[in-house]
Amino acid sequence: MNLISSINPATGKTIKQFQPYSEEQINAALKKADTAFCEWKELDVLERSKLLSDFSQLLRNRKQELGELITLEMGKVIKQSVGEIVKCADTLDYFAAHAEKLMHPEQIETDASESLISYEPMGPVLAIKPWNFPFWQVLSAASHILASGNVMLLKHSSYVPMCALKMEELFLEAGVPEGVFQTLIIDGSTASSLISRDEIKAISFTGSDIAGKKVAELAARNMKKFVLELGGSDPFIVLSDADVEKAATVAVPSRCINTGQTCIAAKRFIVAQEVAEEFTMKFVELTEKLKLGDPLDKNTDIGPLVRDEQISMLEQQVKDAIAKGAKVLVPGGRVNREGFFYAPTVLAKVNSEMKVMTEETFGPVAPIIVVEDEQEAITVANSTQFGLGASIWTEDREKGKLIARRLETGMVAVNAFFRPEACMPFGGIKGSGMGKEMAKHGFYEFMHLKSIKIY
């Protein structure tokens, strides 16, 4: 069996290698999860919440150390890595504070003397998660999965095994019982084989739409509940009455957060003809000011991509756009230095036939498409297989609200970039996923809703 390697994207050098878990280790972990679930679900919800709060505090106390681990293993710039840890802690605190209320049975009026809906955990949840937010993608789901009395088995991306093992270590250090959260160092095919195992009751998946469809098919075949959070090609719509300077100022970091390797990053810039020149000039100016370099430097804005293959995919998408008539405003591209660096690229004269408009661009490539009016903006925004998030810029907030309702996405921000919050459901529609994470809606995804009538 091939070793799993942790590689520093800033240098391209291997940090450490890991032996994938044996069949015996996997079986032992599944058995431990099953046993732990029987005890964890019976623990008073306030005790579970206290343990999650202790874990949250541990994250806050070690945010710099853990941020550096993220940066070392997947290349995120350090100021964003530390912010990722703090956001995880905030989300854990939210569910620790709200779990008791969310778990409380709901009373319903019927013909019976008493009727209620009881919320009961399902059991061990297999979480298959990606590398781009190595703590957040895991802990945003774990926060409500564990708070509700379920336990989690994590199959993390093979790019971030050190982050995966560190989370298990921290849960134990915080006093969370063994087996409640376990990391499995396994490959994708092994993870897929676990979906049919009786011990696994549900699947939480974040990743590509292709892999998500395979997970959904396996889960459905085995009658397992699943939640899919998949890719995105989020539109950033700038209307003629927008505050153009503010829109451009937000647009650049919205495209380049995590060096563009973010499912909810702004990926298609749809701009009204009346303000297109002004927006484009400001966007180019701010993009050219971004500092590319060592991700451990707190002043760096653009770090490396996670692997060289990621650069190759972007190069193919940009080459396709140029061949079909796109104009390069900021050339960017592969950087001649060690590591996997790709400088931001801005394209104009973009059309809907180009891969940068039809595929997800997972890196700092920004296509700008000009439209004549609001209706065309909506049509272009919706003309994609994806439906994750969107951003609308207009001085007319009521108009912004109406357009938000017409966009085929799971999340929309008006005059801002949409940022996940524990109190709001997170997830997309169409090819961007199924089901929700966070808020009460995510909390109940992995709960049995039992109707009880007492006469």
Q: What is the mean pLDDT of the chain?
A: 97
Q: Do 150 and 37 touch, CB atoms closer than 8 A?
A: yes
Mean pLDDT computed over 4-15: 97
CA–CA dist 231, 208 (Å, integer): 6
The number of helix segments (H) and strand segments (E) in the chain equals 15, 20
Mean pLDDT computed over 306-329: 98
Q: Give the tens place of pLDDT for each residue, 133-171.
A: 999 999 999 999 999 999 999 999 999 999 999 999 999
DSSP state of 290: P
- Model confidence at 89, pLDDT cuts 50, 70, 90, reads very high
Radius of gyration of the chain (CA): 23
* CA proximity to 174, closest of 120, 72, 96: 96
- Model confidence at 326, pLDDT cuts 50, 70, 90, reads very high
Mean pLDDT computed over 225-242: 97
Among 3.30.470.10, 3.30.2010.10, 3.40.50.460, 3.40.605.10, name the CATH number for the domain at 4-230+429-454.
3.40.605.10
- Model confidence at 202, pLDDT cuts 50, 70, 90, reads very high
* CA proximity to 308, closest of 271, 282, 334, 281: 334
Q: Give the tens place of pLDDT for each residue, 31-84.
A: 999 999 999 999 999 999 999 999 999 999 999 999 999 999 999 999 999 999
High-pLDDT (> 90) share of the chain, % = 100
CA–CA dist 166, 138 (Å, integer): 12
Give helix 45-61 / helix 63-74 axis angle, nearest 10°.
70
**Which amino acid appears at position 56 of this protein?**
S
Q: What is the DSSP string of 352-414?
A: TTSHHHHS---SSEEEEEEESSHHHHHHHHHSSS--SEEEEE-S-HHHHHHHHHHS-SSEEEE
CA–CA dist 364, 383 (Å, integer): 21
pLDDT at 75: 98
Confidence check: pLDDT of 8 > 80: yes
Confidence check: pLDDT of 443 > 90: yes
Top-level CATH class of 234-414?
alpha beta
Mean pLDDT computed over 280-291: 98
- Those residues whose C-beta lies under 8 Å from the C-beta of residue 240, and which sit 6 or more positions away, are 272, 273, 274, 275
- Model confidence at 376, pLDDT cuts 50, 70, 90, reads very high
453 three-state secondary structure = strand
Residue in the block written with tokens 């942790």: 6
CA–CA dist 187, 437 (Å, integer): 24
Residue in the block written with tokens 């969107």: 390
List residues with catalytic annotation. 229, 263
Long-range contacts of 49-54 (CB under 8 A, 24+ apart): 49/95, 49/96, 49/97, 49/99, 49/100, 49/147, 50/96, 51/174, 51/175, 51/176, 52/92, 52/95, 52/96, 52/143, 52/146, 52/147, 52/176, 53/92, 53/93, 53/96, 54/174, 54/175
CA–CA dist 436, 45 (Å, integer): 22
Going by DSSP bridges, is the β-strand pair 342-343/433-434 parallel, antiparallel, or unpaired? Answer: unpaired
What's the pTM?
Answer: 0.96
Confidence check: pLDDT of 96 > 90: yes
Confidence check: pLDDT of 1 > 90: no
- Model confidence at 329, pLDDT cuts 50, 70, 90, reads very high
CA–CA dist 386, 392 (Å, integer): 17
Mean pLDDT computed over 11-26: 97
pLDDT at 236: 98
Q: Do 302 and 311 touch, CB atoms closer than 8 A?
A: no
Q: Does an H or E element contain 269, and which?
A: strand 266-272
Domain extents for the chain? 4-230+429-454, 234-414
What are the residue ranges of helices labelled H in 174-291?
Answer: 188-194, 209-221, 244-256, 273-288
Q: Do 226 and 205 touch, CB atoms closer than 8 A?
A: yes
Mean pLDDT computed over 81-95: 98
Mean pLDDT computed over 323-337: 97
Residues facing 389 on adjacent strands? 411
